[in-house]
């Protein structure tokens, strides 16, 4: 199910992936309760599927996906009485900036990535939630951005990921963020098919509880 623009696949060594995962989990466990960890792991699963179909650099894309949300663990979001849709929006910019800065420190400490790889991974962490800028980007030239957007989004709505949001906020996210803004950004064949499937499940889950 590959697109015509499929790229050569560059794998991420399993041993190195485990090191990245372990580093990421130390931060993810300090962020939004439960959700950050499960979301990251599920997003990585989807990134691996996207890489199977579309090709791409797994050293960059899998690593970036593990690190996307480590910034929440560096904010005070875990101290909030209620973590809802509006609360998450309040911390979004901060988590991206702090996450990118910390990702650079983590990657340099590990010593397993080139300067070019570190630059691209930290850039992806910084801009991964700036979906509004993705509309102006070209899929071929900005392949990594689209791949991260798809894996991250799929990991948000998979029903296997425990939710911090109330049912009302889940519905708000689907109707006010996912459907009008994130869904149109999907470019890969695999991503589009999986998105449609998960949207159906998410809507059924939400409507069944309201």
Domains of the chain: 11-209 (1.10.3210.10)
User: In 10 A of CB 90, how many CB atoms?
Assistant: 12
Residue 1, pLDDT > 90, answer: no
Q: Taking Cα atoms as reference points, which of 32, 48, 46, 23 lies closest to residue 111?
A: 23
Give, in order, the Cα–Cα distances in Å from 148 to each of 157, 163, 207, 210: 15, 21, 28, 31
Task: Report the C-alpha gap between 183 and 177 in whole angstroms.
Answer: 9
User: In 10 A of CB 76, how many CB atoms?
Assistant: 9
Average pLDDT, integer, range 173-186: 96
Q: Which of 10-19, 21-30, 126-135 has the lowest mean pLDDT?
A: 126-135
Q: Are 87 and 169 in contact (CB under 8 A)?
A: no
- What pLDDT digit, counting tens, does each position of 197-208 carry? 999 999 998 887
Residue count of the chain, please give it: 210
Residue 208: the pLDDT is 78
Instruction: Enter the pTM of the model.
Output: 0.95
Q: Torsion angle of alpha carbons 149, 151, 154, 158, nearest 10°?
A: -150
Q: Taking Cα atoms as reference points, which of 28, 34, 40 lies closest to residue 71?
A: 28
């Amino acid at each position: 199910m590959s697109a015509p623009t499929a790229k050569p696949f560059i794998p991420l060594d399993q041993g190195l992936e485990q090191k990245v995962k372990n580093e990421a989990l130390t931060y993810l466990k300090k962020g939004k309760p439960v959700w950050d960890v499960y979301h990251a792991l599920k997003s990585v699963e989807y990134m691996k599927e996207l890489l199977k179909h579309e090709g791409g650099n797994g050293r960059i894309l899998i690593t970036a996906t593990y690190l996307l949300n480590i910034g929440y663990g560096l904010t005070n979001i875990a101290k909030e009485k209620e973590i809802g849709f509006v609360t998450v929006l309040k911390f979004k910019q901060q988590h991206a900036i702090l996450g990118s800065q910390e990702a650079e420190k983590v990657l340099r400490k590990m010593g397993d990535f080139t300067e070019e790889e570190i630059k691209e991974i930290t850039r992806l962490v910084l801009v991964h939630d700036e979906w509004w800028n993705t509309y102006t980007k070209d899929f071929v030239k900005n392949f990594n951005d689209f791949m991260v957007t798809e894996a991250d989004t799929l990991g948000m709505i998979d029903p296997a990921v425990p939710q911090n949001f109330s049912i009302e906020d889940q519905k708000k996210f689907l109707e006010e963020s996912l459907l009008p803004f994130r869904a149109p950004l999907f470019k890969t064949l695999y991503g589009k098919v999986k998105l449609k499937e998960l949207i159906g499940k998410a809507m059924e889950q939400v409507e069944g509880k309201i």
